[in-house]
Amino acid sequence: MGLGRYKNGKFDLILSLRHNADATRIGQWERSFRRASEILFDATDGQMQFGKLYVANNSIGGTEADAWLLPDEGTSSSFVNALGIPGLHMNLKSDEKNKPFVVIHEFGHYGFGLYDEYIGPSGSAECTGTTSGGACIMEHGYWNGDQIADDGTLTPGPVNEFCVEDNHDPDSDTDQESIHGEPCWNTIHTNFPDVAIPDGLPGGPVPGGHEDVDWILLAEDPRFVLLLDKSGSMSAGNGISGVRFGADYWTQYLATSGDSLSIIAYNHGQDVILPLTSLDATTDLGSTLTAIGSITPGGTTNVGGALDSGLMQILSPGDRAATQVAILFSDGLHNTGTPPESVVDDLVENGVRVYTIGFGPYADQARLEQIADDTGGRFEFIDADPDSDAGQLEIQNYLIEISGEVRDGSGIVTMMPGLLPEPAASEFAAVKDVVRLKGSSKTTLAAVGKIPLAFRVRSTGFDHRAYIESGSDRATFVVSHKEGTAVNFFLTAPDGTLVNPQTDTDVTLVNPTYAPYAFYVVRKPASGFWTMRVTRGQATGAIPFKIFAFSENRDIAFGINGINRAYRVMDTIKLQSQVVFKTPLTALRSPIASIDLKPPGTKTLTVGRLGLLKGAQTVVLKERTVKTPVSGNASRPLARVANGVYENVLQFDEPGSYSVTLKMVNQGKATEAEAEAERKRDGEREPAREPAPMFIRTKRFQIHVGPLPEGKDVESGDQSPSGSGSSSITKQGTILKTSQISKASVGSGGFHVDIGLELRPSEESSG
């Protein structure tokens, strides 16, 4: 996820070995990164190096990682300017355990935001065109850089600098020049102002003072801490009910065997309800649940003290784990004790992500969003009454998303809200994804691409199909429904067999009596469409619910760039997305993205046959492409090459929290981006590799367009929400502008990208 950080001239990074590496392989990677740090130190004139390198083996830690260390050989790649951004990382092939130069080349993309200097919009390009005179790392390949033999022998290469004004791209044809319009050193200085650009041409003797890199192996147990705000302000808007409900739900239903869990209730002080405890099937949490249910509001609020106590619990075993998450339930109204901003740096340094859940009419949403943003988590504001059915569904569904997001290798395949109406209501069908055919008034039940998405809502039952790809280690199918209601949950395998957990040893059904959820866990699931069916378990009453399907496949990753901060009205929001199956994939046709704006008060689903969602708008995430020469083909000198990154820009003219659902689908035709580029450059007609298996991945997140409410200290007697004695809801937000920033790639098939965007207005002062 790119939880790396930069501080005082050192980059601390998280590395995830994507297989169970033996000691020899781990040692080879350690040797390569130590040498890479020395190259970086030399290239930056002694101003930068690697500091702490946290290493997760056996394919764990992939969600947090800045680099995936892959078991197979090939061409490495990286997201650009992605340090510290969730879901984005370098993809370093096995070769790089002997090629530290390539590690720094890819880090140039990832950490510094540099683009290549050996290629440009018109094809092959060059920066200096030589390997001397301060030649640039971003121009050259491994053969011109340091290499290490298996026996540890180092063969130094001639290239170990970044270019400056005096030697940068005289004919202005490289990607770095076309995108940034400046040499590499200037871009580095822009992103890291504390680093000085060298005078004249880079070079000279290797500077002294490089410090040894810390190589730290991470523990495998996922660690979670729940931080529960019980201050006096939580009585407003039933916030304390949301805190109790959320903590109870996570503890009972989402904490699993193998986790380590701690729970802290806080106001001006901290009450450790549960010290960090390793959970297994025999762990009795009865007294913990009783304590959660007994929490009552009172006192002032020390958010910083709670965060600090949570950090101490997570680190209490004396080491650091690959997955470390704090979930802060609060209105964010800090008014005493340790400032939360002063703890954030320690959280980041120790690799703890904070997910924040905001409640109440006086909530400091800006602070909660900032804490989540700074630590790599997410902020969600619960705008429904936390004591209501709608509010509790919001809370539990967000917690389910967090659980699926942070557990290594677990990807959300689908999430879908539904409703079982009163039995007396006439049967109806509702369609979520409806695509209007170009040039026709007809509509089609298009699923994703041409994958059928079975979706029917009736008074008696609801069916939804989820595609699980080949190679999945485990699939989980969940129904989350209103507490106090009863549903039946059935699962049918791709071959049409009704799943029976009593006879199938690879299936577990968790369906506690009176619990507001049920789920099936299927180990080594067959590939294909699995059908989830929800039926009513009670005679009367409407039953709202939401279903999820997760697939754990450590070869698949789905990253989104451009969402992890609050934006101002009219800011340009650049969304980028990439899917990895062992290595970044490219589509054979440009993907389609649809954005659905749901105005306040409208339902998530449109009721009625084949009705289009109100406020639907369409945005296309185009795959970035460059032109490259085709070998031996004078009649067609250039081919368009896609790099697997899909992007577009948005602008909003109203503040609000915009809920975005991004879905990417491989229809079984996508191939490795770099291999496809090589095929086109070589003029080959046959596909470069076997296509990646068909799969679907979905993410939901919020884009916060401010100013967000900063809250009021009601514990000191000020009862006016968000800055005045009255509040008003902002008018409906809109997408003011969408613009494509690259041309579509050629071909057909491949990825389909689907974005659903829902507007939730923020409350602002009418004054």
pLDDT tens digits, 143-158: 999 999 999 999 999 9
pLDDT tens digits, 50-99: 999 999 998 888 878 999 998 988 888 887 888 877 667 898 999 999 99
Structure tokens at 307: 């965060």
Residues 6 or more apart from 498 whose CB is under 8 A from it? 490, 491, 492
Provide the pLDDT for residue 151: 93
What is residue 623's DSSP assignment?
E
User: Could you tell me which of 88, 60, 80, 62 has the C-alpha nearest to residue 2?
Assistant: 88
**pLDDT reading at 690 higher than 60:** no
Give the pLDDT band (50/70/90) at residue 514. Answer: confident
Give the residue-averaged pLDDT of 108-122. 91
CB neighbours (10 Å) of residue 525?
Answer: 25
Yes or no: domain 221-408 corresponds to CATH 3.40.50.410: yes
Give the residue-averaged pLDDT of 23-29. 96
- Taking CA atoms, 535 is separated from 102, 420, 461, 532, 684, in Å, by 55, 8, 4, 10, 53
Separation CA 268–CA 743 (nearest Å): 55
Give the pLDDT band (50/70/90) at residue 416. Answer: confident
Separation CA 297–CA 236 (nearest Å): 10
DSSP string, 463-476: EEEEEE-TT-SEEE
Backbone angles phi, psi at 478, to 5 degrees: -125, 140
**pLDDT reading at 632 higher than 90:** no
- Helix, strand or coil, per DSSP, at residue 274: strand
Give, in degrees to the nearest 5, the angle at Cα 676 between 105 and 126.
Answer: 40
- Topology of domain 412-554, per CATH? Jelly Rolls (2.60.120)
**pLDDT reading at 628 higher than 70:** no
Give, in degrees to the nearest 5, the angle at Cα 664 between 658 and 670.
Answer: 155
| 5-217 and 412-554 share one fold | no
90-92 and 67-69 strand pairing: parallel
Q: What length is written for the chain? A: 767
User: Could you tell me which of 45, 741, 88, 702 has the C-alpha nearest to residue 383?
Assistant: 702
Structure tokens at 513: 């009596």
Separation CA 765–CA 767 (nearest Å): 5
Provide the pLDDT for residue 408: 64
User: Could you tell me which of 136, 144, 131, 96 has the C-alpha nearest to residue 119?
Assistant: 136
Provide the β-strand partners of residue 634: none
Which architecture, in CATH terms, is 5-217? 3-Layer(aba) Sandwich (3.40)
146 with 156: CB under 8 angstroms? yes
**pLDDT reading at 495 higher than 60:** yes
276 with 262: CB under 8 angstroms? yes
DSSP string, 640-695: EEEEEEEEEEEEESS-EEEEEEEEEEE-S--EEHHHHHHHHHTT--S-SSPPPPPE
Domain extent listing, the chain = 5-217, 221-408, 412-554, 557-628+640-674+689-765
478 with 562: CB under 8 angstroms? no
As a dihedral over the C-alpha atoms of residue 526, residue 531, residue 535, residue 541, rounded to 10 degrees, the angle is: 120
**pLDDT reading at 634 higher than 60:** no
Q: Which of 66-80, 215-229, 453-467 has the highest mean pLDDT?
A: 215-229
Query: For all residues of the chain together, what is the average pLDDT?
Result: 77
Give the residue-averaged pLDDT of 634-657. 58
Q: Which residue has the tokens 């950090």?
A: 311
Separation CA 696–CA 663 (nearest Å): 7
**pLDDT reading at 716 higher than 70:** no
pLDDT: which is higher, 702 or 2: 702
**pLDDT reading at 486 higher than 60:** yes
Separation CA 139–CA 116 (nearest Å): 6
Give the residue-averaged pLDDT of 722-730. 29
Give the residue-averaged pLDDT of 177-201. 93
User: Could you tell me which of 664, 684, 674, 632 has the C-alpha nearest to residue 751?
Assistant: 664
Q: Out of 360-374, 446-460, 482-496, 679-693, which region has the weakest mean confidence (pLDDT)?
A: 446-460
Q: Out of 471-485, 559-573, 579-593, which region has the weakest mean confidence (pLDDT)?
A: 579-593
Provide the pLDDT for residue 256: 86
**pLDDT reading at 133 higher than 60:** yes
Separation CA 698–CA 660 (nearest Å): 10
Residue 184 identity: C
Q: Out of 108-112, 320-324, 521-525, 535-539, which region has the weakest mean confidence (pLDDT)?
A: 535-539
Provide the β-strand partners of residue 751: 666
- Helix, strand or coil, per DSSP, at residue 390: helix
- Share above pLDDT 90 across residues of the chain, in percent, rounded to a whole number: 44
**pLDDT reading at 373 higher than 80:** yes
Separation CA 730–CA 600 (nearest Å): 10
Separation CA 263–CA 581 (nearest Å): 36
